Each structure stands twice: as C-alpha cells, then as structure tokens.
Structure 1
C-alpha cells in the first residue's frame, strides 16, 4: 500500500505539472475488450477504450516486469499491430520509448486503441494462449495511461469457441463472469486471468472462499486437496491472526513436467506435474508449493520490504530483503506441511538437510552475501549461466536456513515463549495494518530483536551481510540436534563438472570453482571424448576405477579441435547433511524442540 507521504508528493507533482490534466483524469474511464481470433497462433486481440480525456496527448505504457518475478522481461516485445482512432478516424501516434506509445488526443475525449499480444511462453509469470485455454498474465498484457495507475478499469473477455469459464481474483461486474473490474492498475497487474474449460472446485477456510482452477488434467483427488489445502490455509492464517481476503483463487497449470509458482495479492499461479499427485513425494511437493505461494499473501504482498510498493513498472525495484520475503517463505512452506502432520519429523529434518546441502555445496555461497543475493536478483537470480553456481547463492535456500537459525534463536532466548511466528505477526500488524507501509532493513532487524530479546548485529554481520561459515550445531543444538556429514569419511574423486551425456562424449555444461576441472583447465562446452584413452559417454561412470590423486589424461574437443589436458583428481568435497538427535538431550533442548516442531 502507498504511504500518505508518497501519495501526497506524487499528487503535488502531478498538480504542479498540469492542474488541467489532473482534473480531466478524474473523469477518465478505461475499458478493455479481450478476444481470441487466432488462439492457435497464440494471439490475444485487445481493444482499449479511454474516455474523458482532456489533454493534447496520452502516453500508453506497458510494464517491463511483473511483481514477484525480479527480472525486466520486456513484455512490450510481444506487442504488435498498435493503432489508435477517434470517431472512426486514425489518430497519430509515436513510439517514444521501448514501452511507451504516445497518442495525439488534441480535440478528442474518447479514443480506441487496438493491439495484439503474442502469448507463447509457458511459465507462471508469462502469458500463454492456444486453442485449449488462455492464461493472461495481466502485467504483460495491458497497456495503461501514464499518470493513471490509480484509475479503475473494466475488462470484458470474449471467449474462444467452446471456452466457458474465467478464473481470476478480479471482481465480476454484475453477475457476468466474463466482465471483471479492477480498482486500480496495481490490482489489475496483480490479478492473472485463466480462460477456458478448467476444472473448478472450491473450499472455505479461515472464513474465506477459495477457488481452485485446474488446467491440463491430472490424477489429483479433489476431496483430498480440499481438505489438505484448507488445513494449510488455516495454519498460515493462525500465524498472522487474520486472513485479509474475501476470496482467493489458485490457478494450477498441470503439465507433463511442471513446477514453480508466482504469488499475487488474492491469487496465485502454480505449475505442477499432472501425474505426480498420487505419489507421496509428488503430493507433498505440491502441497509445499501451495503453502509457499499462499504464505506470500501476507509475507511480501502485504508485509513487504519498503522498496516493493508502490511499484515502478518501468525499471527494477531494488531491495536487500528478498531473503526475508522469499527465504522466510521457503522456510515456512515445509514447516507448514510438517504442521499438517503430512511430513513426519524425520522427513522434515531431511528437507532441511537438503537445503543445507544446496548452500554448502554451492561455491557461490562463499562469494555472495545473502543481502547482496537479494539486491542482485535482477541480474543474477533469473539469469543463471554456466558460472552462476560459482558466483551466487539462492536467497531462497540460504534465506530459508537463516529463518531456521533465527527461529531457533528466538525460541531459546525467549525460553520458549516466542518463535518466528510472533515476529511475522508483529511485523504484519505494525507495518501493514498500522503504519500502512513496507519495512526497512533496520526495522525488520529490530522486529527480530524484539522477540529474541537481544542484539542481532553479530548474526547479520556473519550470515546476512557476511560470508562466515554457518555454525549449524550451535543453532540445531538449541533443540537437541546436530548435523553430521555422511560423506565425511568418503574419499571419492571428482572432476567437478556438470555435464550431459551424448552418444560419443560428455559435454561440459558447468565447472565448479576450486575443483580439478577448474584448476586444470576443462572448460564449459568442452566435449570430453576419452579419459586415459577410454571412450567417455556417461558422466556418472567416467571416473570408475580412478582414485583421489591420480593424474589422468582428459581428451576433449574444444570448438571442434582436439585438446589433451592433464588433470589431477581431487576429493569430492560435497557434503551430505543429515540432522540427528544428540545423545540424551536436556529438558531445555526438548522444550525448544517441542516448541519448534509443534510436537
């Protein structure tokens, strides 16, 4: 939400520029018509009508990114066929920037703008259309008039033949499911729309009506999902003390292989594998995804870093706190599933250990601090390349570990009175409900310290802004656990590459910092053909019979030319973490454990 100060400054600037324009803007009405003349070619046809104009020109803008996905995606690249008219006559226009079309409106008060959007990128954050359905990721679909982000709009959808349903969190106009309204553009751009013949079912939880829209089929059990998804909703609502929605929509895209999710204010879009619902791992993984994205309706959509709203849709919006917004959410998603009793404690500890493995086995964890990983999301997190593992760390995985450590610290220091739940509830009420704004780095740290009852400068210096090795045993020890490395006694050689098998070679796709391949010059895109004269075509067995310390001759094709490299094999230093109980945990440790794991 906007703060009063920000709103006042923006209003003052607008009035100073042109009072006449501001007065006219109050009378502006904006309507969209969306149709699908060529869904087989992945197009949406959009007609935008703007009435009540009283200015010489209007700038129409396309957002370049979508909130929740921190990458400038240049949605305007998919727009074609732009044209504007008034009273049936063409209006002059000029494209002034990559995402801005300036339409001359001198002497007219109503204009029609037509354009087409090409929609053929399958993800939870981008639009996709074919003859079976249309997924409209609204931030990448709808132009908006510059200076009018606070204006309401109406969207009418003319479905393709045979399509009969619309699923979105946008409110209906009257009882027409194909006509929706948004009170402002922040809401419109935060409300994706699914159109087609999706399987729709619902449930009520925490006093809120939930709709689940399933596209793509699948072996899901509706009744089981209703029960377990409702349980997740109730548990998460209990953390914050209220559920701020009247209704909420899950849009689920089921593919042969699918994954990922993107949060919105009153909805989410999930990607899933259609045939995985009937396995324990598949079902628990889906429920964890549900828990993650639904938890965001508080953490990030309402309780948010101060940089994340009001949004600038033209450029990056930087924050060092994605480790809280995403990392804490990644911690809670599995913790919530554990609280439903679907995860056993042993399984939950295994999930935590898997996060530890990711962090400890990623060389970039020694290069990039957690706060910097958040800030650099725009250039690193969504643009991974062959060297990303060596230079960066995920604010999801390491942020989740940071949340784990802080949760245990708060429980122990408060003598089991508080936990991280209390911090999240307090911050939500203090900043979203009372102050009606986002928090700063300093303010969230103060919130943590309020419940830990102590200064957390050292924690931040080591684990948020620094690169210290994490003392897992210290924090797990509060709950009577310890970390063991099941690979500690292994003496297995590794080249330190990532690769894909081909018919006659292994093609190198990544080289990890500090490994044999890194030191002795194996490069990404090298095709390893033989090792000591033996043909290689399987990355898993290429070192069979070799030992740590061996000097081997690796023959590669580099840009089609043969090259021989002498490589000294080093030990595989990757850990395999396992969290186990200490012998004879104390009464205090057991009490911390009980509070932490809701035993």
Structure 2
C-alpha cells in the first residue's frame, strides 16, 4: 500500500511536470531575423527572439547533421559571437555540450539571442554565402529550444544589397516573400532557403505548382526543362498514385563543375554544371538528378525506414535500409527517364551496365554487405579514404542493382502482372498513410514478397546481408537479355594502382586489393620515378609493352627516399560489361521486357 502511494505521488509529479512544461512551451513564440552585413566575408547574422517563457532554464541546440546526408557535420563549429539579452541586459549562459547553450531564464518571459554563422562550404548539404547569393541549409543555421521541436517559428530575411528573391518551400507570412513560417522544426530543418537574384520559373504537374530557382547562370533551355521536368513529375506521381505537395521548389546551383543533390520534404537542392545542359549526356544526367531527388519526396521523406524519423538531431540515426532509401531511388532515377522516351532503350541499358561495372569492379563489394554499407554510412560513406574502394560498397550503386534484380524477379514471378512500382505504392500507402510510421527491415521484405509471391530469404541472405556473386544472367534472362564482358578475352598487365600526374612523374592515389601493386608493396603517396630504371615517358602508359608475368622494378620516392620495388605484373581483372538481347527471346521473356521497360 505504501509503495503504491509513493508510486502514485511520483506518477502525478511526472504528469504535472510534463503538463507544466507542455503548457509553458505552448505559450512560447519563436522568431528569427537573418541579415548579411558581411556577405563578402561569408557571414549571416541571426537574431532569435523567444517570448512567452514560463520556465527557469532553457537549452538551445544546433543540429549536428542534416537529414538526407548521413554524416555528423558539427554545424556548431561555424557559430560564433553567441550572446543573450533580456530586458536590455546581458544574460549569462553556459555551453554544456558541443552544440548546446544553457541559459538561466528564471523570472524571464522573453530573451533575445544573437549569433553569427560562417558559411563558406559549397555543397548541397551546407550553407554558403557571398555577395552573389546566400544558400541557407537550415539545419546548419538555426538554433532550436530543447523540448520544442514541434513548435512553430517565423524567419524574416533582410536581404543583402541588390538581392530581390527568396526561394524555399516554407510558406510566406502575409504574402511577404522575405518572411516565412515553419509549423515545426522538422519542417524548418527540411526546407533550405535560397536568397539572391536567382532566375525563377515554374510549371504545373500532377496538380502541384513547381518552382525552379536557378543560381549561377547556364545554357539551359527553360521551356525544354519545364516540359521534361513536368513529365518526370507526372511519371513518378503515377508510381505512388498521388503527389502529397501543394507546391515544390527546385533550388539549382550551377557551377563550372557541379553535381549532387539533397532531398527535402517539399523541395530539393541540385548541383549542376552550368554549360552542360546542351549536350546529350549532360542533359540526361541533369534529368536523372531531377528524377532522383524528386523521387525522394516519397521514398525516404515519407516512405521511410523506421529509424529515419522522428529525428535525433544530436546523434547518428542508424538504419540498415539506405540501400532501399537511396539505392531504389538511384534505380528509379534512370528508369523514370527511360519511361519519358527521351532516350533510347540501348542508352538505358548502357546506364544499367555502368552501375553493374561499378559494383563488380569494386573490391569492397567482396568485403562489405549491402545492409552493412547502409549502417556504416555515418563513418564510411561520407568519409572515403585511399582504401575505401577496397573495403566498402556504395549503397547507391549496389542498392540500384538490387532494385533491378527485384523488379525483374517480381515481373517474372507474377507473369508480368506486378513490378517494383506496386511494392512502392503499397508500402507508401500501408506505412506512411495508414500506419503513419516508418517500416522495419522485415516489413519491407514482406512487401517485396507480397508481390513476388514467394519467400525472399535466399535473395536477402546472398545479396543484401551476404557477399555472394550476383547471378546477373538469371535475372536479365527473365527479360531476354544477357550480360557480356568486353574484356573477358583480354590479357593486359596492370599494376592495379590509381595515379595523378606529379611533374614528370606520377603519384599513387590508390592501390587495388589483390593487384600487383598491392601484393608487391606499392603504397599510396609513393611517387613513381622510373620503371626498370627508365624515367617515366608516358604517365598514362607506365607499362609500355610489358606483359602479364613480367618481373619489373618500380622505382618510387617515399618520404624523401628512393626505393626499388620488384613487382610481378598480373592480369587486369576489371570487367567491362554490356547488356545485350539474347537470340530469339521467348514470348514470356518479351512480355517481361515490355512490362519492365514500358515498351
């Protein structure tokens, strides 16, 4: 009885504490003002105002990573000049963790926080500011009050001189483009902001208004982009049966050489090469990037692994399913472009073969299972080193290959009734819309099995959690195709190294596992100065007319000392695969091919 009474008192205390904190948070109003008085030095000055406080202390936090990019980036490293003010007086604070500032708010209902953010890293994941524009990657710019992630906030932007546009998926306040609102911090941190003089145009597709904000110029054709991007949107919407947005924003950063993208809930940021839009390869690559990041608005932003939301912004969020979230999206980015019929089937098969070549020519594919590649993204995928190719496999490339195999398996086993599209739509409906949560490993596997009509334990054991060699011809054979290797009959020697020019010599940047260089001790950072005593005549053809089995002497400079390394040349075991039709495919194979390639 006594224990029960004590337990009841403790429980009531917890309930009342939670109620008080919730009630206090409910009265709070949060706003930010962002200025760029020193844009030329890459700074944003941010003022954060919090009113309605009814608590004795407050912790302000800075996320350590940005959703969609699985690396702890320590955004707080860019923050400086933190200060707190209330009632016209400076308020003391204590930094209690790398990304937490603790403030005593006893008897304070309102506080003003000022800080500066240095922003000079060009990528789709990080903020960048100069006199031409500001790209605010919001998770790396805005502090948030601990315990108030679900709280709304407003952001007012004071543009640098001459800037006249804001592009973001955040809603305007009172039709003011420079004042935006976020219903909670998950949405704020998932809504990057572009400020400047970007070229803005739009189109409507799948009932949704789309804005394209082009920074950096380029030889793009707006009318062509509107048409082709709209086509991609319509095709991807057809996979899921609905487009959940009211409006969507593409922020495109055009540089002399650019690439990459980062998905968000109702927007994306793309990196592109400004002068590549008028080449067939460049334009196709851009459309595939558009396709990839836009497909994420369903796959990963809504249909997601259970670990990826709600987010923990202080720590890594681990999942073994990035091969689905990213790899399946990498598969769809190209097959959706194939469905537009802008390019030939042969072109698409070439893109698939390129993915297969990347996987099969990676020594890491023999070391790291696909599921482990997903889990280790936080420590390996975004921190590659000179040995990464020997120890890791990309969940993008191999995940795309896995999606290809599963798509063909489902089409074949269902007699062309179903395909991977049906799995994606089912999982989206079942977990995002109905269960309103992410899926587990087992649940996604069950979704695949539902449409394959069979148990996929063996597939997972071999290709997802294991290291078995992939039987490509089994799966491609369902559609009457086969994989052939153009290098199968070659007997070319290789050192198995990667190099860059170093004056008249070459510097080693990578050594492939099991190659001659690996076996006989050539190291990364060695500078090769001679082969068999002869200075390097052609850095692109170190071996000249040497043959497999030849014993040579490689002279290198290592740490300022010259070394002679005896090396026995081995055969180059790289593959150069292509996908070709088999002779006289059957009616069943042609039916699978038609379903798969939308012929």
TM-score grouping bracket, smaller chain normalisation: over 0.9
Kept after mapping to 2: 8 A contact 1:506/1:537: no
Match of 1:405 in 2: 405
Can you list the C-alpha shifts for 1:237-262, whole angstroms capped at 9, x where unaligned?
00000000000000000000000000
Matches within 5 A, 1:161-172: 161-172=161-172
Kept after mapping to 2: 8 A contact 1:501/1:538: no
Q: Are 1:346 and 2:346 counterparts?
A: yes
Kept after mapping to 2: 8 A contact 1:479/1:589: yes
In structure 1, what is the Cα distance between the partners aligned to 2:40 and 2:269?
A: 23
State the 1:535 CA deviation.
Answer: 1.4
In structure 2, what is the Cα distance between the partners aligned to 1:264 and 1:151?
A: 19
Match of 2:567 in 1: 567
Can you list the C-alpha shifts for 1:44-67, whole angstroms capped at 9, x where unaligned?
000000001111110000000000
Match of 1:301 in 2: 301
In structure 2, what is the Cα distance between the partners aligned to 1:506 and 1:313?
A: 44
State the 1:406 CA deviation.
Answer: 0.2
Matches within 5 A, 1:448-527: 448-527=448-527
Can you list the C-alpha shifts for 1:508-542, whole angstroms capped at 9, x where unaligned?
11111000000000000000100011212654211
Match of 2:259 in 1: 259
Structure 1, unmatched stretches of 5+, are 1-10
In structure 2, what is the Cα distance between the partners aligned to 1:298 and 1:238?
A: 12
Structure 2, unmatched stretches of 5+, are 1-10
In structure 2, what is the Cα distance between the partners aligned to 1:302 and 1:13?
A: 37
Matches within 5 A, 1:304-453: 304-453=304-453
Can you list the C-alpha shifts for 1:345-383, whole angstroms capped at 9, x where unaligned?
000000000000000000000000000000000000000
In structure 1, what is the Cα distance between the partners aligned to 2:355 and 2:200?
A: 34
Match of 1:230 in 2: 230
In structure 2, what is the Cα distance between the partners aligned to 1:23 and 1:263?
A: 34
Match of 1:70 in 2: 70
Kept after mapping to 1: 8 A contact 2:495/2:515: yes
State the 1:20 CA deviation.
Answer: 2.5
In structure 1, what is the Cα distance between the partners aligned to 2:26 and 2:420?
A: 44
State the 1:87 CA deviation.
Answer: 1.1
Kept after mapping to 1: 8 A contact 2:502/2:527: no
- Please report the TM-score for the alignment, with normalisation by the length of structure 1: 0.97
In structure 2, what is the Cα distance between the partners aligned to 1:193 and 1:455?
A: 45
Match of 1:246 in 2: 246
In structure 2, what is the Cα distance between the partners aligned to 1:76 and 1:536?
A: 48
Match of 2:54 in 1: 54
State the 1:14 CA deviation.
Answer: 7.8
Kept after mapping to 2: 8 A contact 1:553/1:565: yes
Match of 2:27 in 1: 27
In structure 1, what is the Cα distance between the partners aligned to 2:15 and 2:357?
A: 55
SS at match of 1:95: strand
SS at match of 1:270: strand
Q: Which runs of 4+ in 1 moved over 4 A?
A: 11-18
Between the two proteins, the alignment pairs up a number of residues equal to: 589
In structure 1, what is the Cα distance between the partners aligned to 2:215 and 2:522?
A: 44
Please provide the CA RMSD for this pair. Answer: 1.2
- Assess, with a 3 A threshold, how the Cα gap between structure 1 residues 343 and 22 changes in structure 2: closer, same or farther: same
Kept after mapping to 1: 8 A contact 2:35/2:159: yes
Can you list the C-alpha shifts for 1:164-199, whole angstroms capped at 9, x where unaligned?
000000000011000000000000000000000000
State the 1:19 CA deviation.
Answer: 3.6
In structure 1, what is the Cα distance between the partners aligned to 2:460 and 2:29?
A: 49
Kept after mapping to 1: 8 A contact 2:169/2:191: yes
Match of 1:585 in 2: 585
In structure 1, what is the Cα distance between the partners aligned to 2:589 and 2:18?
A: 66
Kept after mapping to 2: 8 A contact 1:432/1:438: yes
Kept after mapping to 2: 8 A contact 1:529/1:537: no
In structure 2, what is the Cα distance between the partners aligned to 1:451 and 1:40?
A: 56
In structure 2, what is the Cα distance between the partners aligned to 1:305 and 1:14?
A: 32
- Assess, with a 3 A threshold, how the Cα gap between structure 1 residues 538 and 105 changes in structure 2: closer, same or farther: farther
In structure 2, what is the Cα distance between the partners aligned to 1:380 and 1:15?
A: 43
